[in-house]
Amino acid sequence: MLMTGLANRYAHQLIQARQKAEYLPSLSSRYPLAVGDAYEIARKIGEIRTAEGENIVGRKFDYLVDVSPENHQKTPLPYWSWLYDSTVHFMENSEGNFSLGNMLAPCIETEIVFRLGRLPPENAGIQELASCIEWMAHGLEITDYPFQASSRNLVDAIAAFGMHGALLVGEPKIVSEGSRKSLYAVSKCASISLSSNDVIRTAGFGSETYSNPLQGLLALHRLLKKTPDFPPLQVGDIIATGSWTRPLPVQPGEVWQTAVSGLPLSGLTVELTP
């Protein structure tokens, strides 16, 4: 288990590097980190950020193909991170600008976002979790990674803010009781495309195991049960349920658009600025 002092030091290093737009050597190259150690660093980062005035508003969930030798099967591994009021941005009329600011290696991904209106039961399944959803929205996540010339592995990703930079959220749609009951099946038939300069760059489908948003919500719920130092899902949590598309690098001056098929959600248009 990582010593508290070392976890605190790494947390401050990561925050300072983000503020100064500086790369760091990967943490795993300096210390043999376990997943629990990475979450301890993430917990310290959360404490520092909230002490400085940011408010936690939810969670990001996703999968990462860990290329480290220990992940022999190269299967996607689940992880989560905090969302803050400073990093979640609602897009009026499904369009807007976003400044990449100090991001070092920003990438864009597509998401389905939920807000929970009820507290999920401890042993909730997919349908019980669906009944807790207040609204859903389409979103874009901008990720960032502070470790230069480093293959992305799970422990470094968790420690480094879960690679979360910003979540751009489209118009929320209230989910009716009837829609909750059919949401899993409907999501399996949905798709999201991501375009730049009117050219489709990538697309994702709800039929894929790691795209269905309710499957992501269930995986997050179960993952939190394995991290007792963190609170479970809460009423009011905004949940980014996992990327539907592969991450694509972005830079200022680009305009990106999405189109959603099979779900009652509008596509988004975002212009990226310095």
Contact 185, 100 (CB under 8 A): no
Question: Looking at residues 227-244, what average pLDDT do you find?
Answer: 95
pLDDT band at residue 266 using 50, 70 and 90 as cut-offs: very high
pLDDT for 5 equals 87
pLDDT band at residue 174 using 50, 70 and 90 as cut-offs: very high
**CATH numeric code, 57-273:** 3.90.850.10
pLDDT for 73 equals 60
Question: What is the model's pTM?
Answer: 0.95
Is residue 71 pLDDT above 60, yes or no?
Answer: no
Between 28 and 86, the higher pLDDT residue: 86
Residue 254, token pair as written in the block:
């680009």
Q: Phi and psi at residue 218, in whole multiples of 5°?
A: -65, -45
pLDDT for 197 equals 86
Neighbour-count burial for 46-78, b at 16+ CB within 10 Å, e otherwise: beebeeeeeebbbbbbbbbebeeeeeeeeebbb
Is residue 233 pLDDT above 70, yes or no?
Answer: yes
Length of the chain: 274
Tell me: the pLDDT tens digits for 105-114? 999 999 999 9
Question: Looking at residues 61-79, what average pLDDT do you find?
Answer: 77
Domain ranges in the chain are 57-273
Single-letter amino acid, residue 19: Q
Between 59 and 1, the higher pLDDT residue: 59
The 3-state secondary structure of the chain, one letter per residue: CCCHHHHHHHHHHHHHHHHHCCCECCHHHCCCCCHHHHHHHHHHHHHHHHHCCCCEEEEEEEEEECCCCCCCCCCEEEEEEEEECCCEEECHHHEEEEECCCCCCCEEEEEEEEEECCCCCCCCCHHHHHCCEEEEEEEEEEECCCECCCCCCHHHHHHCHHHEEEEEECCCEECCHHHHHHHHHHHHCCEEEEEECCEEEEEEECCCCCCCHHHHHHHHHHHHHCCCCCCCCCCCCEEECCCCCCCEECCCCCEEEEEEECCCCCCCEEEEEC
pLDDT for 57 equals 99
pLDDT for 67 equals 61
